[in-house]
């Protein structure tokens, strides 16, 4: 017959056995908190929040999160390319407030323009979309100006229709910027690499960029992004991404070349300005040893004060030698897969949209 002493002895042995369980990975009695990850350098360091976005993969599935901006109400507006939803609207806590749109299967660029106190969206469909068989298909894209709930006000279509492009040339726009007088600057980043300038009505003014210019400073190789730099108060400029040259190029509002900023080993996306800073997602880089292709996860984020790189969240510490920026690299643990866009809130937290990131939502980087 079992005695109380034997029972206590057996339960003590069982308890001792449970204490060994963690070494086999079966401890259900204690949950370890996830390790806090800090990225960045100097005054620009951030705690990673991978679970910021509160969305359902069934109700609001994602493919690629391309771009995000904050509207005048403090909402975060994101564009993606899933055929079931193109635009998602979050609050800063990550709660999904609204979503809409199926007309932009190649949803890529999103810019907010405030006109007389009212916000409007400029959406860029790049032309690349996932068809019903699961294959990526290229067609010609479009630019739409819409209300914040998706009502289309007008489209900017193929430049061929107004004689600006020759028949047969692809128009695959990736980005829009809106100038101080309402002029619209379209980056044909997956098409002909031109910047096309229109007035506020969508009427064509001029184009520049492309390839094979007599002055090579005007050449753009993958004109992926475009933005207006207001940091010189009386001298706003158009900044264009030349991603395959690992560069940003500055032009006047009329398209005259000003300067180039080279960012070695960083294939950057659009420039994002906040105070004196420039932020950009780095979609690709190359490792110190070997070579990767465009599908490999090699991205991070870069932050500049004026024209100097001061932090690379997800990448190595910026290094200058004799005033020249040296190559930066992705961290080995790949905390950011492909940096595609950066949104900055009033507390200087960052929201990172990623391309080719296993259908994940944007990451929040909380300033520390």
CB–CB of 246/267 below 8 Å? yes
Mean pLDDT, all residues of the chain: 92
Q: How far apart are CA 273 and CA 204, in angstroms?
A: 26
CA distance 326 to 81: 34
How does pLDDT run across 200-235, given as a tens digit for each residue? 999 999 999 999 999 999 999 999 999 999 999 999
Q: Which helix (H) or strand (E) holds 140?
A: none
pLDDT at position 222? 98
Give the separation between CA 239 and CA 242, rounded to whole angstroms.
Answer: 10
For 37-60, what is the mean pLDDT?
97
Checking if the pLDDT of 14 tops 60, the result is no
The closest alpha carbon to 141, from 179, 170, 119, belongs to 170
Give the whole-angstrom CA distance, residue 123 versus residue 185: 12
Higher pLDDT, 41 or 5: 41
Q: Which residues pair with 48 in a beta bridge?
A: 365
Residues in the chain: 368
pLDDT at 34: 67
Quote the radius of gyration of the chain (alpha carbons, Å).
24
User: Higher model confidence: residue 133 or residue 354?
Assistant: 354
- Given the candidates 3.30.160.20, 2.120.10.30, 3.40.50.740, 4.10.1240.10, the CATH classification of the domain at 38-367 is 2.120.10.30
Q: pLDDT band for 305, please (50, 70, 90 cuts).
A: very high
Domain ranges of the chain: 38-367
């Amino acid at each position: 017959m079992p005695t109380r002493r034997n029972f206590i002895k057996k339960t003590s042995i069982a308890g001792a056995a449970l204490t060994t369980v963690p070494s086999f990975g079966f401890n259900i009695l204690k949950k370890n908190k996830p390790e806090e990850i800090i990225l960045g350098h100097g005054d620009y360091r951030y705690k990673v929040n991978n679970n910021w976005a509160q969305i359902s993969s069934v109700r609001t599935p994602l493919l690629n999160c391309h771009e995000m901006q904050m509207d005048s109400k403090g909402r975060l507006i994101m564009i993606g390319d899933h055929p079931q939803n193109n635009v998602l609207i979050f609050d800063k806590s990550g709660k999904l407030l609204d979503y809409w749109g199926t007309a932009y299967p190649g949803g890529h660029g999103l810019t907010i323009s405030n006109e007389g106190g009212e916000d409007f969206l400029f959406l860029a469909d790049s032309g690349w979309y996932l068809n019903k068989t699961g294959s990526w298909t290229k067609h010609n894209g479009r630019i739409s100006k819409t209300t914040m709930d998706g009502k289309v006000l007008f489209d900017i279509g193929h430049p061929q229709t107004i004689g600006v492009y020759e028949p047969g040339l692809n128009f695959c726009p990736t980005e829009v910027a809106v100038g101080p007088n309402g002029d619209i600057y379209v980056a044909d980043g997956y098409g002909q690499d031109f910047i096309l300038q229109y007035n506020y009505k969508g009427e064509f003014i001029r184009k520049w960029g492309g390839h094979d210019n007599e002055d090579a400073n005007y050449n753009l190789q993958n004109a992926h992004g475009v933005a207006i730099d207001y940091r010189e108060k009386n001298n706003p400029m158009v900044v264009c991404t030349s991603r395959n040259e690992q560069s940003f190029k500055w032009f006047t509002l009329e398209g005259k070349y000003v300067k180039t900023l080279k960012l070695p080993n960083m294939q950057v996306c659009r420039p994002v300005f906040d105070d004196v800073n420039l932020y950009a997602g780095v979609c690709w880089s190359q490792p110190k040893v070997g070579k990767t292709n465009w599908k490999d996860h090699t991205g991070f984020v870069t932050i500049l004060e004026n024209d100097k790189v001061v932090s690379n969240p997800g990448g190595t510490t910026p290094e200058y030698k004799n005033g020249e920026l040296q190559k930066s690299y992705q961290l080995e643990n790949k905390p950011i897969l492909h940096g595609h866009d950066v949104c900055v809130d009033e507390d200087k937290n960052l929201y990172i949209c990623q391309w080719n990131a296993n259908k994940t939502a944007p990451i929040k980087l909380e300033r520390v």
